[in-house]
Structure 1
Amino acid sequence: MAHPTALDPGFGIYVHWPFCRAKCPYCDFNSHVRETIDQARWRAALLTELRHYASETPGRTVTSIFFGGGTPSLMAPETTAALVEAVTDLWPVSPDIEVTLEANPTSVEAERFAAYAAAGVNRVSLGVQALNDDDLRFLGREHDTAEALAAVALARAQFARVSFDLIYARPGQRQDDWAEELRRALGEGCNHLSLYQLTIEQNTVFHARARRGELPLADPETAADLFEATQESLATEGLPAYEISNHARPGEASRHNLTYWHGGDYLGIGPGAHGRVTLGADKFATRQHRAPEIWLATVEQAGHATRTRQALSREDRLTELLMMGLRLQEGIRRAAFQRELGAEPETLLDARKVEALSKEGYLVLDDAGLRATAAGLMRLDTLLGYLAA
């Protein structure tokens, strides 16, 4: 299976490593700083929870594994190897299985790249975030630009596929500066880039600073201009957006994330991890205990640390399909509506809302399926709120 599709979205496994060296001021992910980590104990617990879910999903063909966090490049390579080996023992796997590891581009973590490649990782996603030392300090990153670019070069030597992230709409960022940063990023020769607009999330350092008026954020018009310039620039260079924040050359899209966006099944392993798994006629949303120490103790006692397990209603499944699928440039294919809900979009959606959004130039419903236009993607949160209400 080369690429997840609306008809066959694949079956992924997400493994959450919750630890970081430091908490970035913009980050609201489930990440924690600990002075010491018992790697052997964590490895055993992750394997235990993996085996628990394998017992519920026998025979499924795994198409991707994604090590996210936190900072998975702080995970012992032996743990990565053990988990990849366990997946291949517990399930059939696709011959071209994608195994992604998120990593920070510090020299310390880059030194482990060869060990992760030997462990079975074949794709790495680097949290570069900026190619400007002042902005890297503002974002709380532990690397500088030179260190990041050295890590990208080392990653390209070790892994078949390399992606890295950048954050734009940073305070004071001008369009010319961002265009130059994109040119520099494209010069690194990677076939996938994830480009995210800086957003202020609750319960972060940046959120507190913004409430005190200490964070001069980009105004909406500037942010929109940067978004449009990003789409145009990368499309011209052969990395068009296949999802609202992700750009790739043909064949280089993240297969694991495509499983999410096509509404496929995936298991969530580790603290706070979410999953979606179809068992019989029902699709369940799962969530593991969020606090690392509680998760660890619960797994050791019960064999897993699933905190919630809820069967999704038909309305839930439609809402999730809209929220995930409309992020894609191709939108939601009719095959996906049929697979998830056994019906065509015309019978599932409010015709008046679809017509109104179509007349405004934000949405298209045709023989292929339902998709947001370029103007709709720029207003996706508002569009989804209206459509799903």
Structure 2
Amino acid sequence: MTETTPAILPPETFQRRLLEWFDVHGRHDLPWQQQRTPYRVWVSEIMLQQTQVTTVIPYFERFMARFPDVAALAGAEQDEVLHLWTGLGYYARGRNLHKAARVVMDEHDGEFPVHSLDAMAGLPGIGRSTAGAIIAQSTGRRAVILDGNVKRVLTRLHGVEGWPGRPAVERRLWALAEHYTPHQRVVDFTQAMMDLGATLCRRGQPECGRCPFEADCVANARGEQKRFPEPKPRKASPTRQTLMLLLQDEQGRVLLQQRPSSGLWGGLWSLPQFDDMASLQAWLDQHAGTAELATAWATFTHVFSHFRLEITPQPARVTRLDSVAEGWHWYDPAEPASIGLAAPVKGLLEALQPFTLSAPAGHASAPD
């Protein structure tokens, strides 16, 4: 392999090439680019974290229709916020979005503190890069960003070694981002950096032949595009098992339990979970002695970022159950409540047929 010395381009050269490319090939009609406000930009930036634009667009539009401003969001119940977040994943983002809206209302008189990078970064769920993106995109003031797309562009362009999560590597990337960020056309520049990483300098198959920096890119010169950025050192993903109780009453309603506010599926509603059949049966004996168990559905796997969860749905039918306490809810699939549901639970409820203890036809296993 021939070593290639990473050359730092003059900022004016970098900016000119990038913006010329963006003017022709960039994305200019995304929903959050219309009627730009700190609120709309903020919601879009949080939704776009680790999520593709095509996935986010319908969620963003539904969210804006229900919560058109920060006051509406702050005044809502968390359940309703998580209901609109269901299926988008990484639910801590939705909880933090709700918390941040209340902080903006209570501590900033309903106005986002876009005058201060530190104040923005101090809101729940907002880090340095997201704060910079909100400020740049909503006010046009110079602010530096370093999201996943920008990291990928810069590590490839300069052949930056090491996992970007390491402090020394991250400092190097922030210095490069600072070097290239202009004082003019900041809105377009920050969008262009994100677009370049999302549409050309992609993780899997980058289109180097269409890139305005093809001739200057260290990774391209070495033929090592897929090597950069270096991945996080991996640990073996553990596998856990759980039984999910699908307890239906005579009306076809299903018993749900709200998860703790932090941790797995924090604040969402889920089916009661048990480590084994003995603990599940003990719970039924205590709370639903008349319950009738059916054959368990096929086990399926739900993959999280740090572990795999093997879920076995266990249907049961009960003719009578004492009124449930706070934190429990009888969910009617025919008239679903506006509550946040864990993704695999939502799939199970959609597959469940009322008044039956059998797996739905065509579902050898529950949907993932």
TM-score, shorter chain, exceeding 0.5 = no
What TM-score, normalized to structure 1? 0.28
Greater radius of gyration (CA): 2
Bigger strand fraction: 1
Q: What is the TM-score when the length of structure 2 is the normalising length?
A: 0.30
